[in-house]
Amino acid sequence: MAVITYRDALNRALREEMERDDSVFLLGEEVGEYDGAYKVSKGLLDQFGEWRVRDTPIAENGFAGLGVGAAMVGLRPVVEFMTWNFALLAYDAIVNSAAKMYHMSGGQYNVPIVFRGPGGSALQLAAQHSQVPDPWYANIPGLKVCAPATPADALGLLKSAIRDDDPVVFIEGELLYNVKGEVPDGEHLVPIGVAEVKRPGADVTIVAHGKMVHVALQAAEHLAKELEVEAEVVDLRSLRPLDTASVIESVQRTHRAVVVEEGWPISGIGAQVVDDIQREAFDSLDAPVARVSGLDVPMHYARSLEKLIVPGPEPVIEAVKHVCYLD
């Protein structure tokens, strides 16, 4: 296996799928001449030319709508947003057009399109550039939503998303682009809608996705070393469809659960997961399910306050101690 960055895994996925299928093309702001705002599309313009790597104006609803139209007539566009915060301007094209077209056309039109880009907080980007869009899109029937945490999952899920006949919202962690990890050689596909146990354990289940998977793993290592508590970390990977069965299976083994997310607590992904656990595994629980999320405030610019808002390992450790009656 090669060890590559999350960024390079995404680049490899795009390159392999564009080589495999001439109908795949990339469009968005600065994806061509500049190699992408985060260099995910590095080298693709030189290899595939400007007809398949299209720089666009700063008009998110315009180029997202163009992508939807292209998908309806048989192409497979990958629309890159410089950040999912900017995709708020394209919400109409994503939600009212892409997500609903198959239903509204009575199955006459598939919309095989991927909307991708970085989401969540980075470093001191403040309130308008640090939002977590995961629950906004997971709420919409007709969309599939992916949030990979590792290079291997970024590669495998993006390839699966490009091949999918339905619109896929692909949310990349803005602070994950430089994260390195092992990636299988050759063809590597990760099915959409299947969670994965990233760390086995017997005492408590920690459910997370995206950047918070790494936070959960750090917390689990501390718990094992300092308290001899073995936490099982379940990475959702896909937020719609949600692999509830894998979460329930883990909770039935460990009898305790902590759900972690970066976003706001009200109507978050974590709220859905907690509801699923209490409905499907209530009799297996030895303690109430605990939830860890970002604070219910707009993101502050000051680094010291930013650290208070975004969950780190410490609140996860405290939540595990609480459900294990160790606090």
Residue 61, helix vs strand vs coil: helix
In this prediction, residue 327 carries a pLDDT of 87
* Cβ pair 297, 309 in contact under 8 A: yes
Q: Are β-strands 196-199 and 168-173 bridged in parallel, bridged antiparallel, or unpaired?
A: unpaired
In this prediction, residue 53 carries a pLDDT of 98
In this prediction, residue 32 carries a pLDDT of 97
d(CA 235, CA 195): 6
In this prediction, residue 1 carries a pLDDT of 86
The per-residue pLDDT for range 53-104, each reduced to its tens digit, is 999 999 999 999 999 999 999 999 999 999 999 999 999 999 999 999 999 9
Q: In what order do the strands lie in the sheet with 290-292?
A: 196-199, 231-235, 204-208, 257-260, 290-292
Rounded average pLDDT over 167-182? 97
Radius of gyration of the chain (CA): 20
Instruction: Name 49's Cβ contacts closer than 8 Å, sequence gap at least 6.
Output: none
The per-residue pLDDT for range 243-291, each reduced to its tens digit, is 999 999 999 999 999 999 999 999 999 999 999 999 999 999 999 999 9
Q: Exposed, middle or buried, 186 (CB in 10 Å: 0-12/13-18/19+)?
A: exposed
Q: List, by residue number, the catalytic residues.
A: 60, 129
Band of residue 169 on the pLDDT scale cut at 50, 70, 90: very high
Running DSSP on this structure, what letter comes out for residue 166? S
Q: In what order do the strands lie in the sheet with 53-55?
A: 53-55, 24-28, 76-80, 114-119, 168-173, 144-146, 238-240
* Cβ pair 157, 9 in contact under 8 A: no
Q: Tell me which amino acid residue 114 is.
A: V
Helices 244-254 and 269-280: crossing angle in degrees, nearest 10, is 60
- Domains identified in the chain and CATH numbers: 2-183 (3.40.50.970), 196-323 (3.40.50.920)
Tally of residues, the chain: 327
What value, to the nearest 5°, has the Cα angle with vertex 237 and ends 210 and 19? 100
**pLDDT of 120 higher than 90:** yes
Q: What are phi and psi of 234, to 5 degrees?
A: -105, 120
* Cβ pair 210, 262 in contact under 8 A: yes
ω into residue 57 within 30 of 0, thus cis? no
